[in-house]
Amino acid sequence: MKFRLCIDRDKEEEIVATVHERSVLTDKIETLVMQYTGADKIIAYTEDDTVPLPLTRIECIVTIDGRTYAIDTTGAQLRLKQRLYELEKMLPAYFIRINKSALANERRIERFAATYSGGVNAVFKCGYTEYVSRRCFAEIRRRFDAK
């Protein structure tokens, strides 16, 4: 199998796959391509403004008191309209669930810190910390071990 990527800003985007027959892989590729919107930003809200927030600036997405917030690289909390499960479906694969009410940008996790009660916290580059559930931590370890 071969893979070729040609970047030409002057041409219309087109994805062509030449295969011998349809398979699970081709179905997944088709779904991925059709769902991609090209958006690398989501709309966030401050007290006064609406802000386009690049995904690379998001450290963590949390639910606090039934509302969804994005924690950005400065540690600021920006309100999001989408629910956590909706965001989980639309965000890139480097956003991982770390507990029932939080998604983390794995590229922005600085370290994991053990707590006195035996739990684990994710410490982000901006200084924000969020609890990591045991179930999610096992999956995160498998992901990091595979790299």
CA-CA-CA-CA torsion sign (111, 116, 117, 118): positive
Per-residue model confidence (pLDDT) at position 40: 84
Report the C-alpha gap between 120 and 140 in whole angstroms. 12
Q: Identify the CA nearest to 77 among candidates 47, 107, 42, 33.
A: 47
Count CB neighbours of 69 within 10 A. 19
Q: How many CA atoms lie within 13 A of 79 on its CB side?
A: 10
In angstroms and rounded to an integer, the radius of gyration of the C-alpha atoms of the chain is: 18
Per-residue model confidence (pLDDT) at position 31: 77
Predicted confidence (pLDDT) per residue in 20-56, tens digit: 898 998 888 887 777 666 668 899 999 888 999 999 9
Q: Identify whether 4 is part of a domain.
A: no
Report the C-alpha gap between 60 and 44 in whole angstroms. 13
Any residues with CB less than 8 A from the CB of 29 and at least 6 apart, and which? Answer: 17
pTM for the whole structure: 0.72
Q: Quote the domain boundaries for residue 67.
A: 41-146
Q: Identify whether 123 is part of a domain.
A: yes
Please state the rounded mean pLDDT for residues 97-124.
Answer: 93
Count CB neighbours of 111 within 10 A. 9
Domain CATH for 141: 2.40.50.1020
Reported as type and span, the H/E element at residue 70 is strand 67-72
Q: How many domains does the chain have?
A: 1
Per-residue model confidence (pLDDT) at position 29: 82
Grade residue 7 by pLDDT with cuts at 50, 70 and 90. confident
Is the pLDDT at 113 greater than 80? The verdict is yes
